[in-house]
Structure formats: structure tokens, C-alpha cells
Chain A
């Protein structure tokens, strides 16, 4: 059976069979960010190379490690199962700390949604379907700035989607565009602002995930474009300060080894306590399979 059935099997896989993969990453955002607004580090320079969600407007595109890059967690391992074993991250600047970080499996995106169309539902084109977590359970939506708006806090929108049970016509809660305009901003997050929440768009009551997005309706008009990204959050860690790396052993520290699906596109989103401009984030990712 794939996976680890004991601590011993994990250790044997890593030590005796060498079934682990180690890689480093480096993200160097250039964007000026503000406290409490989540930011998508997939758009930041470094290694892995940035990814800009550039393709035909409204048309869904599936994401994968082999096609799009992301954190290098190693090759597919089926029939084994791969798990996130350890992560480390550190920074060269105290400015953005403390900073919560989520590791997400980026599944699919809908690019270049227009923020100028007041009251008119913009329909998505579902050419691609979810490549992993195909029923949508636990899959979340995040709205990422890809061309900045001009006047924040004046617009809201809702998303029409199909939930994890395949029920269509579901409507997200109303969310508000924040007042941070740089590319990579998760546009619905902000501190102490009505209708702004965490990184993900709140779903209709009773839903636990998103299988596909059918449309988005803006209320209010402005310039700007956003991309809706479907992600599966798989792990979390927090940088507390400049003077110590954050090291997480997901077995010892969380008693849970997040699974990484074959060919998953992994990247990070973060909620800084200050600007990320000119900050370097360095880290390690260790995966194991068995």
C-alpha cells in the first residue's frame, strides 16, 4: 500500500531507500506591499521562476510542475505517495515579519477578468478541468491582481461556481477589492475592512470546495484585471523574525504529512507585516515518498 504506515517505514524510506528529494528556493519580490494583505509569491522573481497567469482571458488553464514549474518537489512517484516532510524558510529583512505563509497546490486559473464591467456577469470558459483534487473538495479560490486597479475599496464582486458535490449555481459571499494595487496582491484580503477576508473567497454556506468557476459579477467600475486561481492549501508555516530560520518537520510538529500529488505545481502565498519589496525569502523543501 502506498504511503507510510509507521515512523519506521518513513525512516526506512528516507535512509535505506533514499526516497526523498531536497531542493532550495529563493523568492525576491519587487512589489511594495502593506501589512495584512496576502500576496501571491508565484509572481515574484527568483527560483522557481515567476509565473504570470498569461493566457487567453476567462479560459481555464490547468497547472502542473512539468508545464509551469513552481517549487521543485521532485518527479512523480506513483504508485508511491509523496509527502511534504520538512520546510525551512528565512529572510534577510525584518520588515515583513512576522509573516504567515501557506504552501498551496495551484490547480487551475482563469486569467484577465475585467474589473470595469459593472453589473454584468463575466462568463468563464471551462476548457480545462481540475488536474488534481478533481472533485474540488478543499479547493479554494483566490483573486490575484494582474493589472492594478486605481481606487481601492470601492468595488465588490461575487463568484458563481460549482461546488465539491457538483452542484452548480453556487454564489460566493460578496467580497471587496482592497486598496493595494501591485501585481500579485490577493485583492480580497485586508485588515479591518468590511467584506475583505483572508486569502480565499468565502464560499456559499455548506460548501467546502470549488470544482469550477462559471462566472464573476463586479459591482462598481474601475480599471484593472484580476485572475481567479483555484488552489488546494496543503501546509502552513510562519516566519517570526529576522534572526532565526523557521524549520517545520511536519511529522514531529504537526503529526501530519501533507500529501503532494504527482506533478503538483507548488508555490507560496504570504501575509507580510510590511513591504516585501527588496526582501529575499530563502528556503528548503524536503519531500519523501513511500
Chain B
């Protein structure tokens, strides 16, 4: 399914009412200000949708699937499943009421699931449990990984190299994070993507993949090369959907996704929509962000 023409799109969203506007607001994370150049996962910020509090629960190293309807997932509620129709984002916007937030870049992702890692003092490659598999984008094409602090408390004082062993989207196992390895930040705060920032070994927002790969189907091993001392983090697997750059206080970043290429990113049934944020300036705690998504389906 999907829109067969511009006429069909107009007909579906106007005559048939297959359209929904979703307004969201999110406060930046509540514990520690961001440093310019860092990426954070905003899922634990308060607002609408509410805080996603589930990501530091469950069995260590086991993959858990995320979805719109998973309790405490922090997903934007986009209206449930529409299959056999397909749902698409038509327009998107974001703005801020705080000058200290701009400039920044917001990235909307479908968070497919996560591996919780509590054994952060273990320095060898730790095997994961993949009894649960990807709930969407099941072959892993375009699926990216990021590692973030899921706790209110900061990680311990250490700067370990971070790496994954994974199966790529072609089903090839034993793929590895290439050198130069991402380096975790010492005392990484709530929500921080551990290896983001400025300098050698800093990447943003996703873990680099082995040459030739375009996605991750599953993760087999997770390693921090030295003890992270305390705290916990998660390895999230996600599908990026769109980005919105905010330049200025009070000026909405608006995206017409019908006329871009590729156009109209699909929201797959069950998608767990959360925001990642790149800070272009030091971002105070609880800074406010607002925006909307227009979606239609056919």
C-alpha cells in the first residue's frame, strides 16, 4: 500500500481523514547539562510523551524489543497500527523557547530495541542473548546502533574503548566495530550517547560499522575495554527517520517531507518514536523543546 499519487495523498488526508497531527514537547535531560558537540537520547526527558523509564530494566545483555505500546517506552503515540495501509510522516517541526538550546539538531528514530548492560566492570567481550529479535526492519538494513547511559546516575570515572560484535544486514556474522574505536566519556551523564563529543574517538550519533556494512541485524558481543566502574548503559538499535536543525530561539525548524527525496519516511506498525539530540551549544538541564508531526496513511 502507500500513496499512489499526489491526488491520492490529498484524497486520503482530506476526504478520508487518514491524517493525524501529533504535537510533542520534551524537556532536555534533568540531571546534567550537555556539552556542545554531544549527542543525547531524550527518551528519559520529561514531557509529552512521558519519560521512557523502561530502558534500565530487564535482563542484563538480553535484547528487548521496543514499541509504541510498550509501557514506559517513552514513544511518541502515533495512533496505532494501520496495516495493510502504510503510515508516513508528511511534515515535521521543532522549536525551542530557550536561547541556550540553539543551535541543535534533532533526529527522530524508530527505536527497535535495546540490550541492557549492567555488567559495566567486565572488560572482555560479553555475549548477548538474542532470543528476542528485531521487531521491525527485521533484516537490519539501515539499522544503526548507539550506546547511551540509561540511568539517572552517571557512569563511573573511566574512558573505555567501546565496541560491538554483530551480524550485518546481509546476515554475515562476526562483524566488528572498526578502529579507531569509539571512546566513552568519563562520568557520562543520564542520556548521553557515551562516545559522542569532540576529539579523537568521538562519533555521532551511531557506532561505526565494519567496511561494507549498511546495517545491524543483531549484536552478539558488547565490550568496554576497561571497567566503567559503575552505572549502566544500553545498546540501542534504531532506524533513523528524519533530522531537524534548530538555529534560533523561537524560529521553528519545519520540514516538508512530501517534497523531499526520499520522501515521506514510513512509520512502521509498532514504531517506537524517540528523539536523539545533537547539542550545538551547552544545553542546560530541562531545556524545553516543542514540535509536531503530520502523518497520513493509505
Residues of A within 8 A of B (CB): 7, 10-11, 14-20, 22-24, 26, 28, 45-47, 49, 69, 72, 74-77, 88, 90-92, 242-245, 247, 249, 251-252, 280, 282, 284
13 interchain pairs, CB-CB under 8 A? A17-B141, A17-B169, A18-B169, A20-B214, A24-B39, A75-B211, A75-B213, A91-B103, A92-B103, A92-B280, A244-B247, A282-B278, A284-B245
Contact A23 B204 (CB under 8 A): yes
Residues from chain A with Cβ under 8 Å of B211 in the complex: 75-77
Contact A245 B245 (CB under 8 A): yes
List B211-226 residues whose CB lies under 8 Å from chain A: 211-215
Tell me if B262 counts as interface (CB < 8 A to partner A). yes
Residues from chain A with Cβ under 8 Å of B296 in the complex: none
Closest CB of chain B to A64's CB: distance in Å?
13
Residues from chain A with Cβ under 8 Å of B105 in the complex: 24, 88, 282, 284
Stretch with Cβ within 8 A of A (4 or more), from B48-56, B117-125, B193-201: B193-201
Contact B203 A23 (CB under 8 A): yes
Tell me if B3 counts as interface (CB < 8 A to partner A). no
**CB-CB nearest in chain B for A251:** B261
Bound form: Cα–Cα A12–B205 in Å: 23
**CB-CB nearest in chain A for B262:** A11
Residues from chain A with Cβ under 8 Å of B156 in the complex: none
Bound form: Cα–Cα A90–B280 in Å: 10
Bound form: Cα–Cα A282–B278 in Å: 10
Residues from chain A with Cβ under 8 Å of B247 in the complex: 90, 242-245
Residues from chain B with Cβ under 8 Å of A90 in the complex: 103, 245, 247, 280
Contact-size category for B = 35 or more
Partner of B206, one of A14, A22, A47, A243: A22
* Contacts A18-B214, A242-B247, A251-B261 given; does A26 touch B37 at CB 8 Å: yes
- Residue interface mask B130-166, A partner, CB < 8 A = 1: 0000000000111100000000000000000000000
Bound form: Cα–Cα A282–B102 in Å: 11
Across chains A and B, the number of contacting residue pairs, with CB separation under 8 Å, is 108
Contact B199 A49 (CB under 8 A): yes
Contact A75 B143 (CB under 8 A): no
Closest CB of chain A to B156's CB: distance in Å?
24
Contact B245 A88 (CB under 8 A): yes
Bound form: Cα–Cα A150–B36 in Å: 35
Contact B209 A75 (CB under 8 A): yes
Contact B280 A22 (CB under 8 A): no
Bound form: Cα–Cα A47–B37 in Å: 8
Closest CB of chain A to B183's CB: distance in Å?
12
Bound form: Cα–Cα A282–B198 in Å: 12
Contact A75 B248 (CB under 8 A): no
Partner of A77, one of B37, B212, B253, B260: B212
Partner of B198, one of A18, A45, A244: A45
Tell me if B178 counts as interface (CB < 8 A to partner A). yes
Residues from chain A with Cβ under 8 Å of B141 in the complex: 16-18
Bound form: Cα–Cα A4–B141 in Å: 18
Bound form: Cα–Cα A62–B205 in Å: 29
* Contacts A90-B247, A242-B248, A282-B280 given; does A17 touch B142 at CB 8 Å: yes
Tell me if B243 counts as interface (CB < 8 A to partner A). yes
Bound form: Cα–Cα A180–B12 in Å: 60
Contact B103 A282 (CB under 8 A): yes
- Residue interface mask B109-122, A partner, CB < 8 A = 1: 00000000000000
Bound form: Cα–Cα A266–B298 in Å: 42
Tell me if B257 counts as interface (CB < 8 A to partner A). no
